[in-house]
Every structure is written in structure tokens, then in C-alpha cells.
Amino acid sequence: MMFILASNNAHKHAEIGAILADMGVELVPQREAGCGFEVDETGETFEENAYLKAIAVTRATGLPAIADDSGLEVDALGGEPGVYSARYTGSHADSDADRCRYLLEKLGGAEQRSARFVSCICCTFPNGDVLCAKGVCEGAILRAPRGENGFGYDPIFLPEGYDRSMAELPPEEKNRISHRGRALAIFKKELRNYHAHK
């Protein structure tokens, strides 16, 4: 099964590809499928943005597309950065470290540090069918970055029940408990069901 990943993010490609590998899914980054465009993420929810990205790639290629829209919600910041997680500092050009530093500065010495990672996976098919799945990983924001693995806000996120940051976990363990891992586990069931009834 070939699916186009509605993203050129190498980290997402590796993570999603690894989780879907046992289903015989070949995941091709959108640029390799001839989609050189970036989709404007104008949705107000992760679900809306995932759909916008997937459907744009399906329309451009005539192939099924998988998109992930995900981010961090921090309770003490009113749910920020939310859908703006990748551009929280106002620029896509800033690094993950810049975004982590900016968030920690905004949070300051707040005692209330509960947060969650949210991921929405959306798959669109050329016939108009759509599959969606959502995963959540609860946790808290650390006071300083820890760990070298992962990407995004992983170094400052402590998953619930763990004493290691998301960036200190080996990839297999992270994929098992992460928001994206949970969303993809649900998506895999949806995809199996979808193909079983075709």
C-alpha cells in the first residue's frame, strides 16, 4: 500500500513509517511525490489542519494521503501553543530549541505545569473516503530541557508516570506512549477495518 505523507518533516516520516511498517505501508514524503507546496494551516483544530493537509496532497497526486497535525497544550497558558506549536515564536525558521526556550520563558516559575501532546491523523482517499484518529499523551512541562532524542517540545515534556523526558526515551518506547503513537494505533485499526470492508 502506498500512501503519501502530507509532510516533508523527516522526523515525522521516520516515526509514522516505523509504526505503520508492519502493515506493509510504503510512506512517501510529499516532495518525492511531486508536491512542492506547503498547505496553509488555517484550521482552528488539529483535526481540521490534518484534513486540509491530507486532502490537498490527495487532490494533487490522486493517491491516498496521510497527514498528522499535532502539538502541545499547556494548561497554565490557556492551551497554548496548540495548533500554533510549530510556529509559536512567530516563525517557522526558528529551531525547536528556540520554541522550547520561548515556552519556558512564558511559563516562568508557574507551579501548575500540566500539559498534553495531541495528535490527529487524517487519511484521505481519492474516492472521497476519510479516516481520522486522535491520540493524547498527558504530562507536565519540565523547568529545563533534558535528552537528545525526539524533536519539537520532547526535551521539555515529562510524560505522566515517567521520570524521563520524552527526549530521554528510546524511540520504540516513545512510539508506544506518544500522542502520535496512540493516534496511529487507532488509525491502524481503522485502516484494517476499511480494507476489510472494501
> Where along the chain do its domains lie?
2-196
Q: 69, 75, 96, 163: which is the annotated catalytic residue?
A: 69
What pLDDT does 196 receive?
Answer: 86
CATH number of 2-196: 3.90.950.10
In tens, the pLDDT along 58-79 reads: 999 999 999 999 999 999 999 9
Query: Using 50, 70 and 90 to split pLDDT, how confident is the model at 134?
Result: very high
In tens, the pLDDT along 38-56 reads: 898 899 999 999 999 999 9
Q: Cα separation of 8 and 159, whole Å? A: 26
Identify whether the C-beta of residue 76 lies closer than 8 Å to the C-beta of residue 147: no
Q: Cα separation of 166 and 168, whole Å? A: 5
Query: Using 50, 70 and 90 to split pLDDT, how confident is the model at 15?
Result: confident
Catalytic annotation present for 154: no
Long-range pairs, 77-81, Cβ under 8 A, ≥24: 77/103, 77/106, 77/107, 80/106
